Amino acid sequence: MSIVKRLFSAYLNTGTNKSNTPAVRQQIQVTNLFGLIGYLITLVLGVSALVRSAGLKNDDFYLGVTLLVASALFFTSRLILKFFQSKNGYKVSANLVTGALMLLMLYLIVTGGVKNTGPLWIYIVPPVVLFFGGLKRGLLQLGCFAFVAIVILEYPNNLFLMAEYSDEFSSRLIYSFITVSLLFVFYEYSRQRSFKTLQELSREFEKQARLDPLSGLQNRRGMLEKLEYEHQRTLRHHKNLTLMMCDIDHFKRVNDKFGHDVGDDVITQVGQLFDRALRKQDTVARWGGEEFLFLLPETTQEQAFTLAEKLRAQVSKQQYQADSNSFTVTVSLGIYQMHPQDSLDHAISRADTNLYRAKSNGRNCSIKSD
């Protein structure tokens, strides 16, 4: 049983790869599943029709040949996914599946299938076409299919029909197919709207998970991701990368004297001042408490030191309010330029060590590595 399960899973995942999003992976799996079902059903029905024809070129013979051709097309869709593992490969495979299905359904309308029951299969067209083609392309394909079906059924003197249908049957088949199609179109529209809303909410949650709610800056998690990305990019392109660790001096005194609400306001305003002063490619994060970490791509230690002194001066000049009292704060900064052999943990530790040196040196200053 486990072997069958593994084989079936391997079949469904044909054409998938690690870069596929969950939605794309699901579409490919459904394409494989539908191709397998279509292949088996048309193969069995095609062989049965040929057996019934007893070697004579009658209606069963032509029906059997058509079903076997459709079966071959369904199987080909799987081969395309297997050997062309790309977005275009999936599109070609999906178009082949829907095209084979619609041509088979039109053939069943023309010939009537077995005892004129063939047209009853056309109701599987709307969900399949809309799933593989999406709303816009699926609606266009459905419209083309419905138009051709109406022409075949309603053309004067049944010119395109090999089977005989009553006028009532033809009209009810058309009206019911259009009704079912509209219901599936509405369902697909609602599904896409819901999916889009869920995606937007997911992106917003992901964004919020990387932001510090107090300062609005990146939090530790968001900064670690950016650090890893910039570190790898720096190694690939042999660029400079400098880190700065910053701490608000005597911040505990601010909380003790003016209260935590005022302390939170100081953190917010200092963070906003830092964010406004940076370039687009730079990042500042609230690393924890009253500490901030700066990520400065393509920046030397000397350039970072100049920036640190500029920020330090701006912070010391800014006035903060606590009821009727105004006060100022200062910051200390530690700077470290990464080397190719440095790990991120080592670089952060060195920047933190330089920050500690700045605090030991009387605070309100910037210290870089020797």
Please report, for residues 160, 255, 263, 299, the alpha-carbon distance to residue 345 in angstroms, rounded to integers and kept in the order given: 75, 30, 29, 19
Residue 267 · residue 214 · CB < 8 Å = yes
Catalytic residue from among 290, 291, 298, 302: 290
Question: How far is 38 from 55, CA to CA, in rounded Å?
Answer: 25
* 79: CB partners within 8 A, 6+ apart: none
Residue 141 · residue 102 · CB < 8 Å = yes
Q: Is 206 a catalytic residue?
A: no
Question: How far is 146 from 229, CA to CA, in rounded Å?
Answer: 51
Residue 274 · residue 292 · CB < 8 Å = yes
Q: Which two tokens stand for residue 189?
A: 């529209």
* 250 half-sphere exposure, CB direction, 13 A CA radius: 12
Question: How far is 57 from 335, CA to CA, in rounded Å?
Answer: 87
Instruction: Classify the phi-psi angles of 296: left when phi > 0, otherwise alpha if psi is within -120 to 50, otherwise beta.
Output: beta
* 162: CB partners within 8 A, 6+ apart: 59, 110, 111, 112
Q: Which two tokens stand for residue 99?
A: 């095209």
Q: Which helix (H) or strand (E) element contains residue 242?
A: strand 241-248
Catalytically active residues, by annotation: 290
